[in-house]
Amino acid sequence: ETYAEAEVFIYSRTGQLIFQSKGYNKRWNGTFNNQPLPVGTYYYIIDLKNNIPKISGSVTIIR
């Protein structure tokens, strides 16, 4: 596991943190508090650590 300490953060369009994970154990399934999120665009930041620049972008939920 090259990036075992990597952290993933996912935010709503209003900036609310809706998901956070560290390492490879936990994946996001498009929910928040065990409820499906509405259709829309969400924003992620991936921090790989090790002095590597953070990666950011967006993901869109379409149902």
pLDDT in tens, 5-50: 899 999 999 999 999 999 878 899 999 999 999 999 999 999 999 8
Q: Would you say 7 and 22 are in contact if contact means Cβ atoms under 8 Å apart?
A: yes
Output the pLDDT for position 1: 66
Output the pLDDT for position 4: 85
Output the pLDDT for position 28: 94
Question: DSSP strand E in the chain: where?
Answer: 7-11, 17-22, 31-32, 35-36, 40-47, 55-61
Q: What's the rounded Cα separation, in Å, for the pair 18 and 12?
A: 7
